[in-house]
Chains A and B, each alone.
Chain A
């Protein structure tokens, strides 16, 4: 009885300390932006709420893919350019330009890259 109390509180203290350094800020911002730009209206995207769209390809395991839209090699630069203006990279693509700024696209790309 005497040791149970301190034990519990020790557990909580330790976990609180661990919790402080948990998620990368960029990836989290990227996830929020993905929600705000409603990417999920067309794509299934793991970790993003309301991302159930079946209109376009699923983005699950996007981080493992070598190509964007089957055409463009998946480098960081290409991904950012693609998000900002898809039609410029693949003319005739159905994905609209959503008005994403370069800065926002960088963060979204960071989120998509870590989807495994």
Chain B
């Protein structure tokens, strides 16, 4: 299918039919009144998401102000040590998990579809679910501070302090609280990857998409591989706390360092997950405000990729003082140096773009300049702490507190504020006050440096982190007082911003006049449906290269100027060249996502306070909501093709097989799943290598026969589901349908037997997870497999339901394809975990 139009031949002709625009508006009209909570459009969810994240920013900031007040003078008694420990733990946890990641995801949810020329994210209800789960879970987590049961082990929660030595429920609130963020982040990542790869405007090749799209794509991929490690780690810690499975208890073969590996394997990529989106926003704003195309587009893309990739190699630089091997430590130190090269490429690209152009000083521009100052300084102290002897001195001191705030506030908060100023017209057409912006920036920039620069000094003078007070006469009085003054200045700047934002964004809507003359598609229309018509483009800066583009879009001369089915729609395009492939029909507003989110939240939160029956009721509600919501997916298209653009070939409705967006979502989910399993396997390998004898005395492997039967069962199940996948579901006979049901039932029986034999083998070998860490990790792997088998059983029942009700068709078979993929993965996981458990002791010898 060709994309570039013959000169003058735009996708759709004028005049547009009467009522087409009204029909489009009607399909996208958001639910009103109390039905507000059923909205799923990325425009509404995105704004809500950004607002919620900013609320958490302010709340966590208030906690910091209390901390700074306590530390203003030595030997202060404003706050008790127990409360102070909760304050700094909550400050870090809320900032990192409830503000930093959500705000960049939120900005992406709000703006990325518009930048790509899409009408919405590819899974609107999933996005709504992710948001409400975050909102409910985050709020419940935050209010623990009012009940004095907030966690108090620091935001990275090292055991055994947080397991055997934290008797209260605080640590459980942390583990379950960030569980929501984990779900939210993974759901967001799936949406971002599918959205960036498959829903771009026709002609927007990978090499022409906005840098923010690249940043979010790479960030989402990082989330996929990083979050599973912390999901696994927090699961293990919660199992240790509630069931006494000794993963991190040295006396029983566990190792606290295991937690550190799992946490930081997530924790380091996490900071790049926070930084890369901000860097993407900075790149776009610099290009627009300097009024010149970006210098080094490909270099920046490579730099983003390199950062994302090498960011996974350096987690151990958070563990330089743990006494790990000297050689490994030196290699990690060298890798930590290397990771700063991609950052340098980006910095020089920005400098070159500024040199080439002429920066217009707007509120956003001020924050961009502040970003460059602060982030470069923070990056340089980062290189300093990569040097081992220096880190051995300043690790766990205020020097690191200074460094991390310079790179996080400089590297993310300033860009986010710049973005709020820059893209404000998208919200309701109004710009924030340029006059107040100078005050906001002045207070924030000066306040930030006054607050955090002295911390380099107090760190070098020997002030450790996480102390509720310090003694007089150590030289720490001056720096701390100055820091406190600066913190309040910074807070004043934020307060002024909040005042201006509320004042501006609650005004009546007006026309968005693209006041900065930006070049990318989000400025071409930000109605509920995004753009009036989805444009064909052929450059990185479409609004600059084609002066008439906005007019054409608004007149409906491009793709999908209306709605072909009366419902919400967008285009699915090919990943590299963005050739239109098929029409994607999106769901409208729905109550199921928020219901499912409330049910999920209720389930986890009620379990934390040990109210088991109400928890399970909530769990059931969530599951019912999810199933009903799923039932509406994978619909049979009413017509096989539609006319999405008069002067282009007709477009197929919905994809088939590997072309559906849900298939790729399932692929990503399977990758996440496999990475979680790999993390549990890593735990098993780690504790096995640590013990003198493997299996440890008192424990033994299951007899091989059980495991061989289990492997056979898994293989049979996988083969059966392969047969199911190849079934001719076009044949509309009862016999055919019964046959397919039988195949599915056979596969389920095989999977159940496979698991039963595996479990029986372990029971027979006397597996006792409390006895030692080796047994606990095996029990975890077995239970993980068991969980998968339960899910597979539910999927089987659901699939049979779809089949019997006639909803499984040759052109609506995503349910079958996705189920087969997950099922086969489950079988493979079963086989591999058995093989790993059996072979490891034999390999270690």
The judgment on whether A and B are partners is: yes
> Which residues of A pack against B, CB within 8 Å?
1-5, 8, 11-12, 15-16, 18-19, 22-23, 45-52
Which of B141-149, B354-362, B580-588 lies at the interface?
Answer: B141-149
Known: A4-B51, A46-B167. 4 other contacts (CB 8 A): A1-B44, A4-B52, A12-B142, A49-B165
Contact of A8 among B139, B147, B166, B167 (CB under 8 A): B139
A52: nearest residue on chain B (CB-CB)? B164
B56's nearest neighbour on chain A, judged by CB, is A8
**What residues of chain A lie closer than 8 Å to B51, measured between beta carbons?**
1, 4-5
Known: A1-B48, A8-B55, A11-B139. A19 touches B165 (CB 8 A): no
Residues of A within 8 A of B52 (CB): 4, 8
User: A45–B52 Cα gap in the complex (Å)?
Assistant: 40
Q: Which residues of A contact B44 (CB under 8 A)?
A: 1
The answer to whether A19 and B147 have CB atoms under 8 Å apart is yes
Report yes or no: A12 in contact with B148, Cβ–Cβ below 8 A.
no
Q: Whole-angstrom distance between the alpha carbons of A11 and B143 in the complex?
A: 9
Interface string of B734-772 (1 = CB under 8 A from A): 000000000000000000000000000000000000000
B506 at the interface (CB under 8 A from A): yes
* CA distance in complex: A12, B148 (Å): 14
Question: Residues of A contacting B168 with CB < 8 Å?
Answer: 47
A3 touches B36 (CB 8 A): yes
Pairs A–B under 8 Å by Cβ, sample size 11: A1-B47, A5-B51, A8-B52, A8-B55, A8-B139, A11-B139, A12-B146, A18-B147, A19-B143, A19-B148, A22-B147
Q: How far is the CB of A77 from chain B (nearest CB, A)?
A: 28
Mark each residue of chain B from 115 to 149: 1 if its CB lies under 8 Å from any CB of chain A, else 0. Answer: 00000000000000000000000010011001110
Tell me, in angstroms, the Cα distance from A50 to B164 when the chains sit together.
7
Q: Are A2 and B506 in contact (CB under 8 A)?
A: yes
A-B pairs with CB below 8 Å: how many? 45
Q: Which residues of B contact A47 (CB under 8 A)?
A: 167-168
B140-178 CB contacts (< 8 Å) to partner A: 142-143, 146-148, 164-168
CB atoms of A22 and B148 under 8 A apart: yes
Closest chain B residue, CB of each to CB of A9: B55
* Nearest residue, chain B, Cβ from A2: B506
A15 and B148 CA atoms in complex are apart in Å by 12
List, in ascending order, chain B residues with CB within 8 A of A5's CB.
51, 55
Residue on A with the closest CB to B168?
A: A47
* Cα A17 to Cα B383 with chains together (Å): 47
Q: Are A19 and B48 in contact (CB under 8 A)?
A: no
| A52 to B165 Cα, complex, angstroms | 8
Q: How many residues of B contact A (CB 8 A)?
A: 20
A1-B47, A11-B139 known; A19+B146 contact, CB < 8 A: yes
Closest A residue to B139 using CB positions: A11
Most buried by B among A11, A18, A19, A51: A19
The interface residues of chain A lying within 8 Å CB-to-CB of B36 are: 3
Give bound CA distance, A14 to B299, whole Å. 52
Minimum CB–CB distance from B250 to chain A (whole Å) comes to 13
User: A44 vs B164: C-alpha distance in the bound complex, in angstroms?
Assistant: 10
User: Within 8 Å CB of A49, what residues of B?
Assistant: 165-167
Residues of B within 8 A of A16 (CB): 146
Q: Nearest Cβ in chain B — how far from A28, in angstroms?
A: 9
CB distance from A6 to the nearest CB of B (A): 12
Q: How many angstroms from the CA of A45 to the CA of B165 in the assembled complex?
A: 11
CA distance A11 to B136 in the complex (A): 11
Please, which residues of chain A bring their CB within 8 A of the CB of B506? 2
Q: Choose among B48, B139, B146, B167 the residue that contacts A48 (Cβ–Cβ < 8 A).
A: B167
List of A residues within 8 angstroms of B165 by Cβ: 49-50
Q: Which residue of A lies closest to B34 (CB)?
A: A3
Contacts of B139 in A (CB 8 A): 8, 11
Within the complex, the shortest CB–CB distance from A66 to chain B, in Å, comes to: 25
Could you tell me if A12 and B143 are in contact, using CB atoms closer than 8 angstroms?
A: yes
Of all chain A residues, the one with the shortest Cβ separation from B142 is A12
Query: A2 to B34, alpha carbons, bound, how many Å?
Result: 12
Instruction: Flag if A4 contacts B143 (CB, 8 Å).
Output: no
Residue of A3, A23, A49, A51 with most chain B CB atoms under a 10 A cut-off: A49
Q: Which B residues are in CB contact (< 8 Å) with A3?
A: 36
Q: How far is it, in angstroms, between the C-alpha of A5 and the C-alpha of B135 when the chains are bound?
A: 12
Give chain B nearest CB distance to A21 CB in angstroms: 11
Indicate if the CB atoms of A15 and B164 lie closer than 8 Å. no
Closest to B146 in A: A19
With both beta carbons as reference points, the residue of chain B lying nearest to A48 in the complex is identified as B167
- Given A1-B47, A1-B48, A1-B51: A51 in contact with B147 (beta carbons within 8 A): no
A12 to B164, CA, bound (A): 31
Question: What is the minimal beta-carbon distance from A37 to any residue of chain B, in angstroms?
Answer: 16
Chain A proximity of B80: nearest CB distance (Å): 11
- B504-559 residues at the A interface, CB under 8 angstroms: 505-506
Chain A residues with Cβ below 8 Å from B146 are: 12, 15-16, 18-19
Give the docked Cα–Cα distance between A46 and B166 (Å). Answer: 10
The residue on A at minimum CB distance from B164 is A52
Whole-angstrom distance between the Cβ of B90 and the nearest chain A Cβ = 14
Whose C-beta in chain A lies nearest to the C-beta of B44?
A1
**How near does chain A come to B98, taking the closest CB pair, in angstroms?**
12
Instruction: Please provide the chain B residues from 309 to 337 with a CB less than 8 Å away from any CB of chain A in the complex.
Output: none
Known: A1-B51, A3-B36, A8-B55. A51 touches B148 (CB 8 A): no
A61 to B311, CA, bound (A): 48
Q: Which residue of A lies closest to B428 (CB)?
A: A1
Distance in angstroms between the alpha carbons of A21 and B528 in the assembled complex: 46
Given that A15-B143, A15-B146 are known contacts, is A4 also in contact with B167, CB under 8 Å in the complex? no
3 A-B pairs with the lowest CB-CB distances in the bound complex, closest first: A19-B146, A15-B143, A19-B147
How far apart sit A51 and B168, CA to CA, in the bound complex (Å)?
A: 12
Q: Which residues of A contact B166 (CB under 8 A)?
A: 49
Alpha-carbon separation in the docked complex, A3 to B35 (Å)? 12
CB distance from B142 to the nearest CB of A (A): 8
- Contacting residues, chain B, for A45 (C-beta < 8 A): 167
For residue A22, which residues in chain B have a CB less than 8 angstroms away from its CB? 147-148
Min C-beta distance of A5 to chain B, whole Å = 7
CA distance A22 to B168 in the complex (A): 15
Set of chain A residues within 8 Å of B142, measured between Cβ atoms: 12
Name A28's closest neighbour in chain B (CB-CB).
Answer: B148
CA distance A52 to B166 in the complex (A): 11
Which residues does chain B contribute within 8 Å of A50, judged by CB atoms?
164-165
A60 to chain B, nearest CB (A): 11
By a CB distance below 8 angstroms, the chain A residues around B48 are: 1, 4
Tell me the complex Cα distance, A4–B44, Å. 12
Q: How far is the CB of A59 from chain B (nearest CB, A)?
A: 12
In the complex, A3→B757 CA distance in Å?
55
- Could you tell me the distance in whole angstroms from the C-beta of A92 to the nearest C-beta in chain B? 30
When C-beta atoms are compared, the residue in chain B nearest to A20 turns out to be B146
With A and B bound together, what is the CA distance between A73 and B55 in angstroms? 55
Bound complex: CA of A19 vs CA of B164, how far in Å?
Answer: 26
**CB proximity of B181 to chain A, nearest CB, Å:** 17
CB nearest neighbor in B for A8:
B55
**A12 contacts which chain B residues (CB < 8 A)?**
142-143, 146
CB distance from B3 to the nearest CB of A (A): 37
Say how far A109's CB is from chain B's closest CB, in angstroms: 19
Minimum CB distance partner of A12 in chain B: B143
Cα separation A22 to B147 with both chains bound (whole Å): 7
CB-CB under 8 A from A11, the residues of chain B are: 139, 143
Q: How far is the CA of A49 from the CA of B152 in the complex (A)?
A: 12
Kindly list chain B residues whose C-beta atoms are within 8 Å of the C-beta of A48: 167
| Chain B residue at minimal CB-CB distance from A35 | B167
Instruction: Please name the residue on chain B nearest to A40 by beta carbon.
Output: B167
**Closest-CB distance, B29 to chain A (whole angstroms):** 16
